[in-house]
Amino acid sequence: MDPCVAEVAERTGIALSWVAPLTGGEQGGAWLVQSTDGEFLVLKVQPDPVKAQAVLRAGPVITAAVSGGWPTAAWRHWGVLDDGTAFVLQQHLVGSPVERLNVGTVRAVITANATQAGLGHPDAFDDSAQLVAVTRGDHPWREVVASRSPRGAALVERGSAMIRTLGPVALPVTDLVHGDYSSANMIITDTGIAFVDCETVGRGTRVRDLADLHRQGVVQPGTDPVALDLLRRAAVEVAGPAVFLTCLVAVGYNNLAWWAEHRSVDDFDQAYDRLRDHLDHLERSGTG
């Protein structure tokens, strides 16, 4: 047994045995474990101190969201190990990963996203405030993108011009926000789409999540354009085109900041090209 599993078993009072590592998800290591009564559970750990605090803050938010009908794994226990690593022991969801954004999966995501309406927890991280800070340049994501390459600087200029044209936009704060709506963080179950890797959960507008998935579809080659348009129309229907475009620019900066740190300049520039062309398309054709 991994020593971490033994310590979690001691902390929670649940006798656990290590089964296998789990793939998928993007917010830390995960293992499939089993209790002595035969129940399979997922053990996730987060050693990064800042992200560990986010995990602890997310626990009550996710518990309330599950009670409110949000399709995600229930968190049974969470806490901190002796070395400061945060852990979560959560329900194991049976399903298959979302491998491609097509019309069927997008419709299922839109249905699941609707359950986030009004579930914003008062103690949750204010995601809308962060997005506004990003668009204003009061958050490092924008500068990271601008300094990565000349194309990154051009995208920031392009996004800033769009934000100026839109004018002040009030982003709602009443919805539950996943905060990392990647297809890697979704699984297809018997009842629809369920979300995993929810440590980034916050309160804000669920349009942010739809815009983030829309952004992924734009950057990844081969996405069904009909599915992409379904996401756009669903986001606009929730809160209007200005909120959608504001969220799209902000999550574009967010994701490209990650690309700047983890990908080559060529990969970064290719992602930039696709996102820039799509922003141009949206501005020419409108988003309504």
| Residue 44, token pair as written in the block | 């996730």
23-37, 53-67, 70-84, 201-215: segment of lowest average pLDDT: 23-37
What does the alpha-carbon distance between residue 20 and residue 1 come to, in Å, rounded to a whole number?
10
| Residue 83, token pair as written in the block | 């070395």
Residue 241 has pLDDT above 80, yes or no: yes
What does the alpha-carbon distance between residue 52 and residue 48 come to, in Å, rounded to a whole number?
6
Residue 26 has pLDDT above 80, yes or no: no
Q: pLDDT tens across 143-196, in order?
A: 999 999 999 999 999 999 999 998 889 999 999 999 999 998 999 999 899 999
How high is the pLDDT of residue 168? 87
How high is the pLDDT of residue 288? 60
Domain 3-92 - what CATH class? alpha beta
Under a CB-based contact definition with an 8 Å cutoff, are residues 210 and 57 in contact? no
Residue 86 has pLDDT above 80, yes or no: yes
Read off the pTM.
Answer: 0.92
Q: Which CATH code for domain 97-285?
A: 3.90.1200.10
Tell me the average pLDDT across 261-284.
Answer: 87
The contacts of residue 75 (CB under 8 Å, 6+ apart) are 59, 62, 63, 66, 88, 89, 90, 91
The CA-CA-CA angle for residues 105, 24, 129, to 5°, reads: 75
How high is the pLDDT of residue 266? 93
Tell me the average pLDDT across 102-118.
Answer: 96
Tell me the average pLDDT across 55-69.
Answer: 96
- Nearest Cα neighbor of 151 from 277, 251, 254, 246 is 277
- Nearest Cα neighbor of 202 from 134, 133, 132, 120 is 120
What does the alpha-carbon distance between residue 288 and residue 274 come to, in Å, rounded to a whole number?
21
Band (pLDDT 50/70/90 cuts) for residue 284 is: confident
How high is the pLDDT of residue 279? 86
Domain segments of the chain as ranges:
3-92, 97-285
How high is the pLDDT of residue 202? 97
Band (pLDDT 50/70/90 cuts) for residue 2 is: low
Handedness of CA 36, 38, 39, 41 (dihedral sign): positive
Q: Hunting for tokens 């969801």 — which residue is that?
A: 93
Residue 233 has pLDDT above 70, yes or no: yes
Tell me the average pLDDT across 9-36.
Answer: 82
Q: pLDDT tens across 203-225, in order?
A: 999 999 999 999 999 988 888 99
Residue 193 phi/psi, 5° resolution?
Answer: -90, 135
Under a CB-based contact definition with an 8 Å cutoff, are residues 111 and 192 in contact? yes
Band (pLDDT 50/70/90 cuts) for residue 88 is: very high
